[in-house]
C-alpha cells in the first residue's frame, strides 16, 4: 500500500487541530451559558431589545428608531417618521425617502424618493447623494439620468422617451436617453438646463426601458436597495449579548447590557458600582476568571503541541484564502514588500487608538508613533469587502515611489484585524482647505497642489511594468504634508493594467459619483482607461477653484448653481469670475488656467481628454497657449446641503458590466 500523500496527511492534521480548537470553543460556550445572569433586564434593555412597527413595516430593530421607539435605541441618522398605514419616511442628505421594506437579516432597506412619487417634475431638483459611511448601494443598482428644460425638438421616433414640465408656468421638454437615442442627443445634451441622477433597480429598469416615459414614475416608485452597515463595535456588542444604543449623539454607540451600559461589549472593564451589586456578579467574576484560566492553559497546550505553523487551520475557508493571498503577495515582493505588523503592534503605536484623525466608510484613521516617527494608521472595518481591496491597496502602493504618492510604511493582516500604516500628513486632506472664505491657501499654493497631483497621476499612468489606475481621485483622497505638498492616497479601488492595454474590463463601478467618469457606468461614452482618472482629476481641479466662488453675489441658494457650467459661460462671455481672494492679475490667470485645464479633462468623450502629461504641459505653460475647450456635457450634481458625491462602494456582484469584453458591454449596463 502506498503511503498517504503529503496533502492528505496535512489535511488530516489540520482537521485534528481544528477539532481541538473547536473543542475549546465548546467549553467556552458551556461556561458562558452556565454563568449566572447579571440580574433582570432593566426598562431600557427591555425596550431596545424588542422590535417595533412603523407605518406599514413590522419587526424593525436597531439601528432604526422613531415613532414609539426612543432615540437611544438606534443611531441618530436612522430616524423613521411613522404614520399609520403609510410607508415610513427617512431623511438622508437633504431628501425624504419612503421606506418600502427593511430586511434586518441582510441589513438592507428599499427606499424611494418621496418627491418623485407622483410627479417627475418636482419643484426642487436634486441628486440622490449618500455621504454617510454606514450607507452604500445594493447589488441590483443602476443609474437613471433625467434631463430637464432641453431647448430642442425631439425626433418623432424618440418622443416616447420625453416628458413635459410646467413648474415655472412655461412648458419645457425633458427626456431620459435610451441606447438608440445617443446618435441624436449626444451632441445636444449639454444645452439642457438641468439633469438629475436617480438610483433605480437595474432589473426593473431593464423591464421598463423600452416602454417610454409613461413608465418612469412606476420605475421610480419601486425605489432601490441600500445596505446599512453596523459598525464593528455594534457587531462585537451584539455577539456579547448586548444591544447597540446611542446614549448620546456621539458617532460610536455604547453597548447596553442586562446589568448596565459598557463602552464596547458586555463585561468590558467590569467594575463594581458600590455595595448594591448583586452577589451573582461576584459569582460571575469567579466563573469567568476560572474560564479564562482554562482558556490560557488550553491555548498554551495547543501552541506548544501544534506550533505556530498550524494557525491557518483555525481560519474559516474564506479567511484562509485571504491569508494565502497575503502570503503570495509577500513571496512575490520579497524584501520590497512593506513590513508586516501584528495587531498588538498597532495598538502600541496608536496608544490603544487614542487619537482619531478621521472616519470614512472603510473605518477610522488614528495618529500613531513608529520608532519616533509620526504615522497615520488606517484601521479597516472587518465588514468591508472580502480582503481583496486591502491586498489591492497594499499591492498597488507598494509599486510606487514618488514625491506625490503617499508612502506605505507597513500593514497588519490578522484575520478580521486589518490596518495600513502611512506616513503622517500634518495638514490633513485637501477637502479641508478649499472651501469657503476661511481657506488660508493662496492661489499660487493651490496651483502647486494641482500641479503636484497631476505629476503623481502621470507617474501612476506611465508606470514601469504596469499602469495603475486610481479610480477614486477626489479632494478627500489628497493628503498634504507640512509644506502642503500633495500626496495621492487611498488605493483601495485602484486597478493594475499592462502598459499595452488601452482599455480595461471591469466587474464593478469604482469611484464617487460627482468625480466618476461617464464611461465607467455607460459604454455609450467609451471604454474605461487612464482617461477615467483624467476626468476625476478635472472635476477635482474645478472643485478647488469653485470652492472659492462668491456664490452670494449671484444667488442666495448657491446649491442651485453648478460651477463647471457657470465657469464655462463666464469664460465664453469674458465676464469677471467673481471668485473670492483673487487680488492680482496673477491670481486671476491661475484661476482661469485651472478652469481651462479642468474643462478639458472633463470632456464627455474620453478621446478628447488630454493625458496627464498634456495636462501638466498646459498647467506649466502660458494661459494664452491653452485652446478653449468644447462645452462638455456635465452631470450637474445639485448640492442639497453639502457634498453631492454619491459613494458607490463596492457591489457584491457585477451589476452593469460584462467581464467577457475588454470594454464595457452595452447590453449589460444601464443606459444613461
Residue 238: CB atoms within 10 A of its CB come to 16
pLDDT at position 170:
63
d(CA 568, CA 548): 16
- Strand 339-340 and strand 408-414: the pairing is parallel
Q: What CATH number is given for 430-639 in this structure? A: 1.10.510.10
Are 551 and 580 in contact by the 8 Å Cβ rule? The answer is no
Q: Just list the catalytic residues.
A: 472
pLDDT at position 296:
63
Q: Which helix (H) or strand (E) holds 409?
A: strand 408-414
Residue 107: CB atoms within 10 A of its CB come to 15
C-alpha distances (whole Å) from 172 to each of 147, 422, 429 are 11, 53, 42
> Cα torsion at 474, 476, 477, 478 (round to 10°)?
90
Q: Under 8 Å CB-to-CB from 166, ≥6 apart: which residues? A: 121, 172
SS3 assignment, position 524: helix
313-423 shares its CATH topology with 430-639: no
pLDDT at position 360:
67
Nearest in space to 278 (alpha carbons), one of 32, 42, 33, 31 = 42
Q: What are the extents of the domains in the chain?
A: 313-423, 430-639
Angle at alpha carbon of residue 592, lines to 589 and 597, rounded to 5°? 125
Considering the four listed CATH numbers 3.30.200.20, 3.65.10.10, 3.60.110.10, 3.90.1150.10, the one that applies to the domain covering 313-423 is: 3.30.200.20
Q: Check the annotation: does 378 bind a ligand.
A: yes
Residue ranges of the chain whose pLDDT lies below 50: 1-16, 19, 26, 28-41, 180-184, 249-251, 269-283, 303-318, 383, 499-500, 505-507, 549-560, 635-672
Cut 0.85: pTM above it: no
Could you tell me the three cell numbers for 578?
Answer: 467673481
Residue 617: CB atoms within 10 A of its CB come to 15
d(CA 657, CA 145): 18
d(CA 255, CA 270): 13
d(CA 441, CA 426): 15
Count CA within 13 A, CB hemisphere, residue 599. Answer: 24
d(CA 24, CA 658): 46
d(CA 255, CA 273): 17
Nearest in space to 376 (alpha carbons), one of 328, 417, 332, 427 = 427
pLDDT at position 294:
66
Angle at alpha carbon of residue 97, lines to 125 and 213, rounded to 5°? 55
Over 109-151, what HEC string results? EEEEEHHHCCCCCCCCCCCCCCCCCCEEECCCEEEEEEEECCC
Among left, alpha and beta (phi > 0; psi -120 to 50; other), residue 449 is alpha
Are 461 and 518 in contact by the 8 Å Cβ rule? The answer is no
d(CA 478, CA 515): 14
Amino acid at each position: 500500500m502506498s503511503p498517504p500523500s503529503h496533502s492528505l496527511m496535512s489535511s488530516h492534521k489540520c482537521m485534528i487541530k481544528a477539532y481541538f480548537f473547536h473543542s475549546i470553543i465548546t467549553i467556552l460556550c458551556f461556561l458562558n451559558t452556565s454563568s449566572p445572569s447579571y440580574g433582570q433586564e432593566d426598562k431600557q434593555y427591555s425596550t431596545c431589545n424588542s422590535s417595533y412597527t412603523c407605518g406599514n413595516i413590522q419587526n424593525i430593530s436597531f439601528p432604526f428608531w422613531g415613532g414609539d421607539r426612543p432615540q437611544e435605541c438606534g443611531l441618530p441618522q436612522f430616524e423613521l417618521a411613522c404614520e399609520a398605514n403609510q410607508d415610513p419616511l427617512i431623511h438622508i442628505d437633504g431628501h425624504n425617502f419612503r421606506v418600502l421594506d427593511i430586511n434586518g437579516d441582510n441589513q438592507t432597506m428599499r427606499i424611494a424618493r418621496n418627491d418623485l412619487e407622483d410627479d417627475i417634475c418636482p419643484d426642487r431638483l436634486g441628486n440622490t447623494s449618500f455621504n454617510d459611511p454606514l450607507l452604500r448601494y445594493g447589488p441590483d443598482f443602476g443609474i437613471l439620468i433625467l434631463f430637464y428644460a432641453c431647448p430642442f425638438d425631439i425626433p418623432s421616433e424618440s418622443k416616447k422617451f420625453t416628458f413635459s414640465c410646467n413648474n415655472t408656468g412655461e412648458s419645457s421638454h425633458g427626456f431620459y436617453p435610451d441606447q438608440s437615442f445617443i446618435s441624436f442627443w449626444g451632441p445636444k445634451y449639454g444645452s439642457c438646463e438641468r439633469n438629475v441622477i436617480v438610483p433605480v433597480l437595474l432589473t426593473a429598469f431593464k423591464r421598463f426601458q423600452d416602454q417610454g416615459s409613461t413608465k418612469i414614475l412606476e420605475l421610480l416608485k419601486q425605489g432601490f436597495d441600500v445596505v446599512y452597515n453596523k459598525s464593528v463595535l455594534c457587531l462585537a456588542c451584539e455577539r456579547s449579548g448586548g444591544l447597540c444604543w446611542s446614549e448620546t449623539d456621539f458617532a460610536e454607540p455604547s453597548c447596553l447590557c442586562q446589568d448596565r451600559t459598557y463602552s464596547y461589549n458586555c463585561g468590558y472593564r467590569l467594575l463594581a458600582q458600590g455595595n448594591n451589586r448583586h452577589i451573582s456578579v461576584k459569582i460571575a467574576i469567579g466563573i469567568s476568571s476560572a474560564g479564562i484560566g482554562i482558556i490560557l492553559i488550553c491555548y498554551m497546550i495547543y501552541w506548544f503541541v501544534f506550533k505556530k505553523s498550524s494557525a491557518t487551520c483555525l481560519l474559516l475557508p474564506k479567511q484562509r484564502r485571504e491569508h494565502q493571498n497575503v502570503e503570495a503577495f509577500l513571496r512575490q515582493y520579497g524584501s520590497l514588500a512593506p513590513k508586516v505588523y501584528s495587531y498588538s503592534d498597532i495598538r502600541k503605536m496608536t496608544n490603544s487608538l487614542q487619537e482619531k484623525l478621521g472616519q470614512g466608510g472603510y473605518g477610522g484613521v488614528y495618529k500613531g508613533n513608529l520608532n519616533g516617527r509620526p504615522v497615520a494608521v488606517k484601521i479597516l472595518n472587518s465588514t468591508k469587502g472580502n480582503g481583496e481591496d486591502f491586498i489591492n491597496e497594499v499591492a498597488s502602493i507598494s509599486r510606487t515611489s514618488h514625491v506625490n504618492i503617499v508612502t506605505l510604511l507597513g500593514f497588519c493582516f490578522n484575520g478580521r484585524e486589518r490596518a495600513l500604516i502611512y506616513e503622517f500628513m500634518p495638514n490633513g486632506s485637501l477637502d479641508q482647505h478649499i472651501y469657503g472664505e476661511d481657506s488660508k491657501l493662496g492661489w499660487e499654493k493651490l496651483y502647486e497642489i494641482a500641479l503636484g497631483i497631476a505629476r503623481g497621476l502621470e507617474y501612476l499612468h506611465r508606470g514601469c511594468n504596469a499602469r495603475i489606475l486610481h479610480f477614486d481621485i477626489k479632494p478627500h483622497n489628497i493628503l498634504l504634508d507640512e509644506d502642503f505638498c500633495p500626496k495621492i492616497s487611498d488605493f483601495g479601488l485602484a486597478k493594475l493594467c499592462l502598459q499595452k492595454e488601452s482599455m480595461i474590463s471591469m466587474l464593478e463601478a469604482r469611484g464617487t459619483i460627482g468625480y466618476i467618469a461617464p464611461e465607467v457606468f455607460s459604454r455609450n461614452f467609451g471604454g474605461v482607461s487612464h482617461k477615467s482618472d483624467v476626468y476625476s482629476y478635472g472635476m477635482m481641479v474645478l472643485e478647488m477653484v469653485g470652492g472659492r466662488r462668491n456664490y452670494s453675489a449671484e444667488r442666495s441658494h448657491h446649491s442651485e448653481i453648478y460651477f463647471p457650467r457657470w465657469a464655462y459661460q463666464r469664460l465664453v462671455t469674458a465676464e469677471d469670475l467673481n471668485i473670492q481672494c483673487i487680488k492680482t492679475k496673477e491670481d486671476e490667470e491661475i484661476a482661469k488656467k485651472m478652469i481651462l485645464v479642468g474643462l478639458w479633462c472633463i470632456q464627455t468623450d474620453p478621446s478628447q481628454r488630454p493625458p496627464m502629461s498634456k495636462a501638466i504641459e498646459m498647467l506649466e505653460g502660458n494661459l494664452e497657449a491653452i485652446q478653449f475647450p468644447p462645452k462638455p456635457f456635465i452631470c450637474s450634481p445639485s448640492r442639497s446641503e453639502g457634498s453631492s458625491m454619491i459613494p458607490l462602494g463596492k457591489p457584491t456582484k457585477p451589476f452593469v458590466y460584462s467581464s467577457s469584453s475588454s470594454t464595457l458591454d452595452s447590453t449589460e449596463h444601464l443606459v444613461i
